Amino acid sequence: MEKACYKKHIITVLVENKPGALARIVELFTARGYNIESLNVGETEDKTLSRLTLVVCGDEKVIEQIVKQLRKLIDVVKVRDLTGKPCLDRELLIVRVNVDTKDKKDEAKRLSEIFGAQIVDVSHDEYTLELTGDEAQLDAFIELIKPLGIVEMARTGRVAMLRSLYGKTFD
């Protein structure tokens, strides 16, 4: 076991949508020995930019270095550490659970209703559930449906964005 993780930080990165740009970021983490908890990449309102949301662990010194090293990359346009700032933070979960008895089917439906999950696919003895929420919600949901028997599971990793007030972001 590695020693307990330090505080988690959510770092968002706006990066040029170019070949090699993502590789540089990922390689930076391996080359300098930083850990990535989760990594999400997607388009933004600007086609030439991608947004990465990284969840990383480390003490203050490590996080400061991560941010500086990311900023140093030529393709990186903006880096923000959202930790401790008012932000929206969501993750998507898709999970296939075993529901081979009526009790299990009821329990799956009940939990989905409570958490606001959707049943997006149904077969004879399996439901596929979809849930969006923050990390803690997803963790709790997974914990509760575990007894039913999880067949397969996928999480997107977190995406996050600063909240705004009167069109200004809290930065």
Instruction: Give the per-residue contact string, 18-47, with another protein (x = CB under 8 A; - = no).
Output: -xx--xx--x---x----------------
Residue from 6, 16, 37, 149 binding another protein (CB under 8 A): 16
* Burial category of 83 from C-beta neighbours within 10 Å (exposed 0-12, middle 13-18, buried 19 and up): middle
Instruction: Using CB under 8 A, pick the residue from 29, 41, 75, 137 that binds another protein.
Output: 75
CA 25, 26, 29, 35 torsion: positive or negative? positive
The one-letter code for the residue type at 133 is G
Tokens representing residue 57 in the block? 């662990």
Asked whether the beta carbons of 108 and 122 are under 8 A apart, the reply is no
Q: Indicate the residue among 75 and 81 with the shorter CB distance to another protein.
A: 75
Closer CB to another protein, residue 73 or residue 92?
73
- Strand locations in 58-117, DSSP E? 76-81, 87-98
Q: What are phi and psi of 56, to 5 degrees?
A: -130, 160
Least CB distance to another protein at residue 16 (A): 7
User: What is the closest distance, in whole angstroms, from the C-beta atom of residue 160 to another protein in the complex?
Assistant: 20
Are the beta carbons of 56 and 66 closer than 8 angstroms? yes
Number of residues this chain uses to bind another protein (CB under 8 A): 20
CB of residue 79 vs another protein: minimum separation in angstroms? Answer: 10
In the complex, the smallest distance separating the C-beta of residue 50 from another protein, rounded to whole angstroms, is 12
Which residues of this protein are in contact with another protein, per CB under 8 A? 15-16, 19-20, 23-24, 27, 31, 61, 64-65, 68-69, 71-77
